[in-house]
């Protein structure tokens, strides 16, 4: 099995921003959240992986082909940076392998008979509900 391509950290653009949410005074003073921007078209990924990544319908992917990930779960900038690069690598890993093509199969004779028996049973139950009127 081939290993998925590894994202080169030098191709990533980082921006430190202030985190949202609770955090008291610290959240207002320190820019610990991180915006990661990764241009897929200009990256060193193999062309097949680039095509599958650009074909994703993911909210983190802009129309220009840039992946934007915001990490703000941790209090330290380094931990948020590590989390962002892990999430980017997980995204690349998800498209690195070629999805197997589905080959439709015919239902077995046994499964066809079980399906028909179930339909007959349900039909009998419903037929039992249709009683004659009380005259």
Q: Tell me the mean pLDDT in the region 109-121.
A: 97
Nearest to 90 by CA among 74, 76, 71: 71
pLDDT at residue 98 in the model: 84
Task: Dump pLDDT digits (tens) for 57-83.
Answer: 889 999 999 999 999 888 888 999 999
- Please check the confidence at residue 92 and state whether its pLDDT lies above 80: yes
Nearest 5°: phi and psi at 28?
A: -85, -15
Provide the residue ranges of all domains of the chain, joining segments of one domain with +: 9-96
| pTM for this model (two decimals) | 0.70
Crossing angle for the helix pair 77-96 and 47-54, to the nearest 10 degrees: 100
Identify the pLDDT of residue 23: 65
Give residue 3's pLDDT.
77
pLDDT digits (tens, 9 = 90+) for 16-71: 888 887 666 666 677 788 999 999 999 899 999 999 999 998 899 999 999 999 99
The CATH number of 9-96 is 3.30.160.20
Instruction: Report how far residue 19's alpha carbon sits from residue 73's, in angstroms, rounded to the nearest whole number.
Output: 9
Report the alpha-carbon distance of residue 1 to residue 6 in Å, rounded.
Answer: 15
């Amino acid at each position: 099995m081939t290993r998925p391509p590894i994202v080169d950290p030098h191709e990533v653009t980082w921006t430190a921003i202030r985190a949202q949410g609770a955090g008291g005074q610290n959240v207002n003073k320190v820019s610990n959240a991180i915006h990661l921007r990764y241009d897929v078209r200009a990256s060193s990924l193999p062309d097949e992986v680039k095509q599958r990544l650009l074909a994703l319908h993911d909210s983190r992917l802009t129309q220009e082909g840039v992946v934007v990930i915001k990490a703000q779960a941790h209090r330290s900038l380094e931990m948020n940076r590590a989390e962002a690069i892990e999430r980017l690598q997980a995204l690349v890993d998800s498209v690195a392998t070629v999805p197997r093509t589905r080959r439709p199969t015919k239902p077995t004779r046994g499964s066809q008979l079980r399906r028909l028996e179930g339909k007959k049973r349900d039909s009998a139950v419903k037929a039992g509900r249709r009683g004659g009127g009380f005259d």
